[in-house]
Structure 1
Amino acid sequence: MKRRSFIKSSVLTGVTASILPAMSHAKEASIPPAEYYELRVYSLTNAIQQKLVEDYWKDAAIPAMNRLGVKHIGVFTEMNPARQTQLYVLIQYNSLAHYSNVTDALEKDQSYQTKASLYLNAPATAPAYERIESSLMKAFAHMPHLEAPGKEARIFELRQYQSAGEAAGKKKIEMFNDEGEIDIFKRLGFAPVFWGETVIGAQRPNLTYMVTFDDMEAKAAHWKAFGSDPQWKKISSVPEYADALLVNKITSTMLVPTAYSQI
């Protein structure tokens, strides 16, 4: 009996040892990999620069990047610019490797280089733009893929939450991923486009996300509903999730998509 029990135990141990790693790998495989997003902000001086940059994206960059597997590129102007509008460009990549591959491929794409020539080779006496600010973001685990809204007329709000320290920044991300904050936005009809943690860029640590509305009246109504939502009140009432501890600056920019924007 002892020998029989030993053999049974050995078989079970061997089966368990082979099954558990397989189950673990299957679970990991079922989790979709997070996308990466590049956000470029062009500072422009005049309408000539704006046209040059917009023509570059419309006629050269978007078609070339789409050919290379970039599914969505959003190009936006400010809703109420104080001066010449800044141009916001959001680029979706499948992975860091995809980002690298696209960058390398564009340098060898003769069609792209030709169509982008006026932009790429603008002289110092007549630059295409004043400056580009660029950041690279990793999508949140609870929303690993960008969700582009329909083509109906909409306005977009780009929000950034800056934190005083990296632990605080991770804690704020935890609220979105693990405590259900992203689900509240979806349930209330904000039609979120993406959430991303800035891994390279200015003003770190920060997270950035984009939500959409029909108009400014709808925006006000949605944020009012969010502030009074029972689930949000429950999450935000937890002492360790107090905004005073996790967020020290919030910026909000209202944007309008260009006619050729893919978001």
Structure 2
Amino acid sequence: MKRRSFVKGSLISGAAAAIAPVTAMAKPEFDKPPYVEHYELRVYTFKNEKQQKTTEDFFRDVFVPMIKKQIYEPVGVFTELNPTGQTKLYVLVPYNTYVHWEGLNYRLETDKDYWTKGSAFLNAPACDPAFERMDTSLMKAFAHMRMKELPPRNQRIFELRQYKSATEAAGKKKIEMFNDKGEIDIFKRLGFKPVFFGETIFGNDRPNLTYMVTFKDMDDKAAHWKSFVDDPQWKKISAVPEYADALLVSKITSTMLKPTDYSGI
């Protein structure tokens, strides 16, 4: 999604949310399990430090506090651990339910304080934009891990991994490995401290699944992945012919991230 699409997209989802009263989202039944969380992932690309500062100022001073106030959710804000050139900014917004995603856009569109405080970012002129590009996707949590799990707030780095599949059937089969065959349990047992697992329901490079795991540092990351590859349960799962990566995964993307000082994750 390119810059300026945020406002247009928000207006569309705002109109959809207006069908039901906004106050309905505050009803207790929307905040009680069993529910399946959704995750919005935004990736901002910049051409210089000024753009990055404008965007980070907006998220630190306006967006993150507003989300805490509106839907009581922590927002993850990350930069690349070892960027090539100007870093990208990764923003992860959790929602208890899809309804919260719809309603938040409507509420922000009608919040004058939000538009006033965020004017430098939201109303940046075309000749001096706040970012070059924004890519966005919405994910639905896996059935076997319906809610995010926040890692300890100590020294940590994050790995954001995406598995792209060539077909819808292959993508569903790969998710089956996580949900039904114990792959998520292996991650937890080996101490990866996964934050979320999500199936992308709209966004780029579909079909794909995306997940985030946590490490102390790069040496810790290497040790954990070695333990995963050597794990007897993983060897048993991956040895099943129908679960071969060559059949189910066409591309794997790994991005190492570090949290900003104002990140809620």
TM-score between the two structures when normalised by the length of structure 2? 0.87
Specify the alignment match of 1:46 in structure 2.
48
Specify the alignment match of 1:25 in structure 2.
none
What aligned pairs does 1:77-156 form with structure 2 within 5 A after superposition?
77-156=79-158
Q: Distance in 2 between the 1:49 and 1:154 partners?
A: 26
Alignment check: 8 A CA contact 2:200 2:208 kept:
yes
Q: Which of 161, 164, 167 is equivalent to 2:166? A: 164
* RMSD, matched Cα: 1.0
Amino acid at match of 1:172: K
Specify the alignment match of 1:71 in structure 2.
73
2:197 pairs with 1:184: no
How far 1:240 sits from its partner (Å)? 0.7
Alignment check: 8 A CA contact 1:75 1:257 kept:
yes
Alignment check: 8 A CA contact 2:67 2:74 kept:
no
Q: Distance in 2 between the 1:34 and 1:181 partners?
A: 19
Alignment check: 8 A CA contact 1:35 1:144 kept:
yes
Q: Distance in 2 between the 1:55 and 1:187 partners?
A: 38
Q: Distance in 2 between the 1:88 and 1:207 partners?
A: 17
Amino acid at match of 1:243: D
Q: Which runs of 5+ in 1 are unaligned?
A: 1-29
Amino acid at match of 1:35: E
Q: Which of 32, 35, 48 is equivalent to 1:33? A: 35
SS in 1 for 2:136: strand
2:231 pairs with 1:229: yes
Deviations 1:185-206 (A, max 9, x none): 0000000000000000010000
Alignment check: 8 A CA contact 1:38 1:137 kept:
yes
How far 1:31 sits from its partner (Å)? 6.5
Specify the alignment match of 2:27 in structure 1.
none
Q: Which of 161, 174, 177 is equivalent to 1:175? A: 177
SS in 1 for 2:53: helix
Alignment check: 8 A CA contact 1:165 1:205 kept:
yes
Amino acid at match of 2:193: A
Amino acid at match of 1:255: L
Q: Distance in 1 between the 2:54 and 2:72 partners?
A: 22
Specify the alignment match of 2:201 in structure 1.
199
Q: Which of 222, 242, 248 is equivalent to 1:220? A: 222
Farther off after superposition, 224-233 or 31-40: 31-40
Q: Distance in 2 between the 1:200 and 1:125 partners?
A: 30
Specify the alignment match of 1:5 in structure 2.
none
How far 1:70 sits from its partner (Å)? 4.1
Deviations 1:118-158 (A, max 9, x none): 10010011100001000000000000011111210100000
* Residues matched between the structures, number: 234
2:60 pairs with 1:58: yes
How far 1:221 sits from its partner (Å)? 0.2
Cα gap change, 1:172 to 1:31, in 2 (>3 Å): farther
